[in-house]
Amino acid sequence: MSQNKVEVNTVKPELTFLKKETSYRILDSNVEHTLDTDIQSLEKYLSETTGFGKTEEQKDMDYAHAQYLWKTLQNDLKSCKLNFILDQNQYTLLTDLILKRLEYDTNTVFIAIELVDLLGSMKGVKFQSDEMKSFQVTATEITYIYHLIQNHKVKGLTKEAFTFAEILRRIGEISKIVSYYDSTAKNFTEEIAKWALSLDADSAKLIDEIPQDTTSQNS
């Protein structure tokens, strides 16, 4: 039995960063395991499932299961939480910007409102000296945060400038991870389409390989 080859070309980004000799994990191990298992399950299914000797109904069931595996990956990615890790200066600047300093128009005010629950969970957090704290965010929430603060300007290379740069760096690290899994999921849509066509091709190939009865021709 032939196997279909599934290719995922995206390189997985770093899931941790180092700060003052301490390693911080952006994506928890259990969440990484769930997403990677989703990917591996779909890759394995597409590679090992063919259309040889199957009825149209059986192939339809195979396709439905592939769609189920893909939707599982999509749902797990949409609902997963990532760790937005900030020190006290970064936390103070970010919350101060969103809650007090930024001006909102008709395009951004509703985006800011969508962050109310997240900001509520961040409110009143106390830091020890040099401590970094983790705030769990979804891919959508981190996108909203970036959208709101991307046009903020700082004057000169002040302490605020460096703090702002670190916030953007943390957002960038999260975005790379989200982009990796999102791109992988999107790549599967094309792979599933090609695999679905191969099911019919396998059936046609099997028919072509059936020996023809030449008795009548030789009589």
C-alpha 125/C-alpha 25 separation (Å) is: 20
- Report pLDDT digits (tens) over 65-82: 999 999 999 999 999 999
- Taking a C-beta distance cutoff of 8 angstroms, is the pair 163, 154 a contact? no
C-alpha 125/C-alpha 207 separation (Å) is: 68
- Report pLDDT digits (tens) over 50-61: 988 888 999 999
How much is the average pLDDT of 12-40?
95
**What spatial distance separates the first Cα and last Cα of the chain, rounded to whole Å?**
36
What is the pLDDT of the chain when averaged over all its residues?
A: 88
Q: Is the pLDDT of residue 1 over 50?
A: no
C-alpha 31/C-alpha 39 separation (Å) is: 13
Nearest CA to 86 among 207, 171, 179?
171
- Report pLDDT digits (tens) over 101-131: 999 999 999 999 999 999 888 888 999 888 9
Specify the DSSP class assigned to residue 7. -
C-alpha 48/C-alpha 52 separation (Å) is: 11
- Taking a C-beta distance cutoff of 8 angstroms, is the pair 76, 38 a contact? yes
How would residue 25 be classed by pLDDT, with cut points 50, 70 and 90? very high
Q: Is the pLDDT of residue 209 over 50?
A: no
Supply the Cα-derived Rg of the chain in whole angstroms: 25
Tokens describing residue 160: 């605020």
How would residue 143 be classed by pLDDT, with cut points 50, 70 and 90? very high
Q: Is the pLDDT of residue 168 over 50?
A: yes
How would residue 4 be classed by pLDDT, with cut points 50, 70 and 90? low
Q: Is the pLDDT of residue 134 over 50?
A: yes
- Taking a C-beta distance cutoff of 8 angstroms, is the pair 70, 42 a contact? yes
